[in-house]
Amino acid sequence: MKREPLAIYIGYDSREPIAFHVAAHSILRRASCPVSITPLVQSQLRAAGLYTRERGPLESTEFSMTRFLVPALCNYKGHAVFMDCDFLCRTDVVELWNEIEGALWGRPLGSHRKAVVCCQHTYQPSETVKFLGQVNVPYPRKNWSSFMVFDNAQCQALTPERVNILSGLELHRFSWLPDEQLGALPLEWNWLIGEYARNKRAKRLRYTLGGPWFSDYAACAGAEEWFAERDAMLWPHEALVTA
């Protein structure tokens, strides 16, 4: 594992700030390496002139498109993780790095490096509506972009100019990247609550239909685990750290 902090960017939505903070906490209290966590706040990106596109009717969050600015924010250097805010991390982030570096990028760096690695779901959404009444639109490669690891130097096609003009489908379906440069992670790294059966071995839980921070989903599958993480963040002196 590299000594410099692993850059992690988490989508931030002003309607669900608690989701960001709990996701970040779930990373920090389990990490055995330095990490740098940055919220992707759309208003900040607009103020910096990096994000100018109008919000589309099918964008369910404020970070639906801003996630594709991560390589530019890193000046196309190093590596970076992006994840939606509706994740709960169960394991040390070092496990993710070791799996990617060993299985997909090679040791040492070689010709088989991938520009992006993600969990390549193949499913049809079980619900047509998700949190806050948002339409749950089905499309090929759905949810692949909710958890991505970028090799930033290989993602220079994602200039701010292109991120601001490409369609949502072009971005989320990775039309900007040759298929051979897209690597696959086991689904355990992006386990979709409400779409997949319970899995004790899942390394990252994603509350894709809606998380327990919304009243309508307070009793959803996995809610007790999310609330336990929230409580460990708010009252650490009372929490039993199991990581």
pTM to 2 decimals? 0.89
The H or E element containing residue 118 is strand 116-119
Which domains does the chain show, CATH number per domain?
6-234 (3.90.550.10)
Say how far apart CA 157 and CA 169 lie, in whole Å.
16
Are 59 and 83 a contacting pair, CB within 8 Å?
Answer: no
Q: What is the pLDDT along the chain (243 residues), one digit of tens a residue?
A: 556 789 999 999 999 999 999 999 999 999 999 999 999 999 999 999 999 999 887 787 999 999 999 999 999 999 999 999 999 999 999 999 888 876 555 544 444 679 999 999 987 665 555 555 565 566 678 899 999 999 999 999 999 999 999 999 999 999 999 999 999 999 999 999 988 999 999 999 999 989 999 999 999 999 999 999 999 999 987 755 444
The H or E element containing residue 95 is helix 93-100
